Amino acid sequence: MVTGAADDDPSGIATYAKAGATFSNGMLWTAPLRLPLMMAVQEISDRTALATGQSFGWLARRKFSRRPRVVIGVLIVALLVGNILNAAADLMAVGQGMQMLGAGPDHLWSALAGIGISIALMSGSFAVIAKVFKWLCVSLLAYVAVLFVANVDWPDVLAGLIGMKFSFTPEYLGLIVAVLGTSISPYLFFWQSAHRVQELRSEDHGGDEAVGLQDRPDEAAARKLRKARADVFIGMLFSVLVMFAIMAATAATLGRDGTR
């Protein structure tokens, strides 16, 4: 759930809102397309941690020899830069949202949000932070609630979902790349893996070590795998539901006038 909600971060919300405002319901087909892709990728990330009790980064280091690890290191540096830019965009969006509410200058709120998150990460435990994130996920349901009060054109929504409003314009095609790019973000792979490892470590058996499926009785391992798969699938369904709600709600409001 937390991983799925993290995918609907402020920069992602802005991208989905732009799609709804610019092309109305014309890009809703990306939601059902995104769902199986996210389920597959996130379950791979989750199952590697579940099977071995090790994180995504540790497994990559163990799997590859020195030369491939150099290439992976270069890619991780590029990923780090991308994540920093993405985090900066998110903090800017938080500040601009507070400014829209009349709470003060955006740069001040961006700085306060960044400082607050940094303090929480450095001083709080993983379990506490995960619980805070879990409850913050509920706020995303506000976008779903908008669908019940906005004047949504449901036949047009259906047409958008099945791809009948597809366009071959450069702006439309470029926004498809943006929507799918912000949907399957690499940092989610690492978060899902790390979260699963921490959950395994918190269990009664194994002490401080995460016990993977390979070291569990067959019946217990199969039960754990089923629960983990349901966990991932429900989280990704939640994420895609919020994505759909943002696009459809924006299309029903700003999208009626083709707002840029």
- Reading the block at residue 29, the tokens are 């087909």
Half-sphere exposure of 85 toward its Cβ, with a 13 Å CA cutoff?
A: 8
- Between CA 56 and CA 183, with CA 181 as vertex, the angle to 5 degrees is 70
pTM for the complete prediction? 0.78
pLDDT for res 109: 93
Q: Residue 174: count other Cβ atoms within 10 Å of its Cβ.
A: 10
80-96 burial, b if ≥16 CB within 10 A, otherwise e? eeeeeebbebbbbbbbb
Please check whether residue 242 is in contact with residue 140, taking contact to mean a CB–CB distance below 8 angstroms.
yes
> Distance between CA 253 and CA 77 in Å, rounded?
40
Q: Note down pLDDT in tens along the chain; length 260 residues.
A: 777 777 777 778 888 888 888 888 888 999 999 899 888 888 888 888 888 888 887 887 788 877 787 887 888 888 888 888 888 888 888 898 899 888 889 899 999 999 988 888 888 777 788 788 888 888 888 888 988 888 888 888 898 888 888 888 888 888 888 888 777 777 777 878 888 888 877 776 656 777 777 777 777 778 888 888 888 898 889 888 999 999 999 998 887 776 66
pLDDT for res 212: 73
Q: Residue 236: count other Cβ atoms within 10 Å of its Cβ.
A: 25
